[in-house]
Amino acid sequence: MSKIRHYISTLTLIKGLFISLCLSAFIYLDAFDISYKALDTLLAMMGFYLLFKSNRYVFFWVGFFTSLLWFWWIGVSFIHYDMIYLIPFLLLAIGLIYGFLSLSIYALSDRFSNIYIKMAILVVSFILLSYIHPFGFDWFKPELTFVNSYFGVSKWQFAIILASIALTITQKNYLFLLLSLLSFNPHHPTISYTNSDIKLVSTYIDVKDKWDESKKEANNQKMLSYIDQAISKGYKTVVLPESVFIDFINYNQPLFDALKQRSKHINIITGGLYLDGKIPRNSTYIFTRDGKVQVAHKYILVPFGESNPLPKFLSDWVNETFYGGAVDYKASDHISTYKLDGKTYTNAICFEATSDKLYQNHPKAIIAISNNGWFYPSTEPTLQKLLLKYYATIYHTTIYHSINMSKSYVLTE
């Protein structure tokens, strides 16, 4: 009982929440368009410094609260499935997973009495933490806290920052914080909302309207009008968000023909469903000005949202109980690329644009399409943008991102 009292003491909870706020501030500052590198740098450094000086009880709550501050928006999608009653259980599960993960890191370091070994284990653990993906979900990257700071976000830069904090604590000398300057990186990708050659369409289609059969034809015509507008303004390429056409495009010949006809004047990149026999795929349709049509299927599926990561017997039960018996989407067996006017682009559909796997070949340019309507309103689009900024920084990739329910943009390294 005494240990439980330590976990739920007011001081422990306040410390855990405060540190979590420091480690999550970069998301909320960006969401409100507050951009001060000094502030982002200070809060992130303070968060890790206070965490490294904390006990096991605080460590647990930092993992718990930080995961909720980063990922509470996952519960918003349950509203669209009429499963609001499950949101508290989902949030509790998220908090406990990362809470116990954080506690495990402390427990590992606490096995050693030598303070230097303790700190070394903490440093290494937080560097490796981004490789731990519960159920295939890989959006938790501790180094992301510095994505809007004066520092870089590569592993070696993050290691220097954490090592400077660890040395400051062990040596009780704040001058060691100056070592963090070795990770100084004033150059971060720039974000722009216009582009001279590629028109990135932003749509604002509510999830309920998106699947309303009575609104399907009007929606399809509206999407075609976006293409017509891009043609009239002289763009070479137009990009529409993920699955904006409420159809299996490969089974809707009039729509397919309308897109192909317009592609005589402009390259068209659009999200759309693809029916492969009886298996649905989340796909990108590429209609190019030379008359060619390519379909790029999604390579990395969203855990639970598109593909259930549980064992088959549990997966079947979850799909039947919560998703009306819907079958999982089918993933491509390879990363798709295509050429537009002689330049190669890597295809990315929403979640996969934020995965390390997509960047294994160091792509120079990515065209990403997303539907953030499942998480509207929330901080999900902000965290998604920060993750893309992280990858653009590390891999020197230009990312063109067309989005439903938030503003489209280009990230240029």
Residues near 397 by beta carbon (within 8 Å), at least 6 away in sequence: 359, 362, 363, 364, 365, 366, 391, 413
Write down the catalytic residue from 15, 141, 298, 330: 298
245-293: pLDDT as tens digits = 988 999 999 999 999 999 999 999 999 999 988 888 999 999 999 999 9
- The verdict on whether 298 is a catalytic residue reads yes
The confidence score (pLDDT) of residue 309 equals 63
User: pLDDT tens for residues 285-308?
Assistant: 999 999 999 999 999 888 776 666
Q: Which of 195, 243, 193 is nearest to 223 (CA)?
A: 243
Is it the case that residue 375 has pLDDT exceeding 90?
Answer: yes
Q: What is the pLDDT of residue 20?
A: 98
Report percent pLDDT > 90 for the chain. 80
143 in catalytic set:
no
Per-residue pLDDT tens for 355-367? 999 999 999 999 9
Q: Please tell me the predicted confidence (pLDDT) of residue 316.
A: 61
What pLDDT score does 254 carry?
A: 96
Choose, from 143, 242, 306, 352, the residue flagged as catalytic. 242
Q: Please, what is the average pLDDT of the chain?
A: 92
Of the listed 141, 350, 380, 389, which one is catalytic? 350
Given this model, what pLDDT does residue 65 score? 98
pLDDT reading at 320 higher than 90: no
Q: What percent of the chain has pLDDT over 70?
A: 93
Has 22 been annotated as catalytic?
A: no
Q: What mean pLDDT do residues 156-185 have?
A: 97
pLDDT of 174 over the 80 cut: yes
pTM for the predicted model, two decimal places? 0.93
- pLDDT score for 345: 98
pLDDT tens, 221-248?
999 999 999 999 999 999 999 999 988 9
**Does the pLDDT value for residue 318 go beyond 70?**
no
Question: How far is Cα 220 from Cα 225, in angstroms, rounded to an integer?
Answer: 9
Task: Flag whether pLDDT at 321 surpasses 60.
Answer: no
Residue whose C-alpha is closest to residue 404's, from 275, 257, 272, 274: 272
- 323 has pLDDT over 70: no
